[in-house]
Homo-oligomer: A and B are copies of this chain.
Amino acid sequence: MSGAPDEFQLIADLFAPLARSYPGALNLTDDVALLAAELGFETAVTVDAMVAGVHFLPADPPDLVARKLVRVNLSDLAAKGARPFAVMLAAAFPRGTDMDWLRRFGDGLAADVGEFGIALIGGDTVSTPGPLTLSLTAFGRVGEGKALLRSGARAGDTIWVSGSIGDGALGLRAAQGQFSQLEASHAAFLAERYRLPRPRVALGPELIGLAHAGMDISDGLVQDLGHLCRASRLGAQVEAGRVPLSSAAQAALAEEHSLLATVLTGGDDYELLFTAPPLASPAILELGTRVGVAVTAIGSMVEGAGVTVLDAAGQAMALGRGGWRHFSATGMGTGA
Asked whether B45 lies within 8 Å of A144 as measured between CB atoms, the reply is no
Contacts of A128 in B (CB 8 A): 51, 54, 130-131, 133
Contacts of A8 in B (CB 8 A): 325-327
Instruction: Answer whether A150 and B231 are a contact pair too, CB < 8 Å, given A48-B90, A129-B131.
Output: no
Asked whether A327 lies within 8 Å of B126 as measured between CB atoms, the reply is yes
Q: How many residues of A contact B (CB 8 A)?
A: 83
Asked whether A31 lies within 8 Å of B215 as measured between CB atoms, the reply is yes
Asked whether A144 lies within 8 Å of B4 as measured between CB atoms, the reply is no
From residue A205, how far is it (CB to closest CB) to chain B in Å? Answer: 13
Binary B-proximity of A37-71 (CB < 8 A = 1, otherwise 0): 11111111111111101110000000000000000
Contacts of A257 in B (CB 8 A): none
Q: Which of B35, B216, B329 contacts A43 (CB 8 A)?
A: B35
Count the copies: 2
Asked whether B335 lies within 8 Å of A124 as measured between CB atoms, the reply is yes
From residue A100, how far is it (CB to closest CB) to chain B in Å? Answer: 15
Q: Tell me what chain A mostly uses at the interface: helix, strand, loop, or mixed.
A: mixed
> Does A7 interact with chain B (Cβ within 8 Å)?
yes
Asked whether B39 lies within 8 Å of A130 as measured between CB atoms, the reply is no
> Does A182 interact with chain B (Cβ within 8 Å)?
no
| Interface-facing stretch out of A77-85, A248-256, A280-288 | A77-85
Q: Would you list 9 pairs from A and B whose C-beta atoms are within 8 A, ordered by A residue?
A: A2-B326, A24-B42, A29-B231, A30-B149, A30-B150, A37-B37, A37-B40, A124-B135, A128-B133
| Chain A residues with a Cβ under 8 A of chain B | 2-8, 11, 24, 26, 29-51, 53-55, 76-77, 79-80, 82, 88-93, 95, 121-131, 133, 135, 137, 139-140, 142, 144, 147, 149-151, 215-216, 219, 227, 230-231, 325-329, 335-336
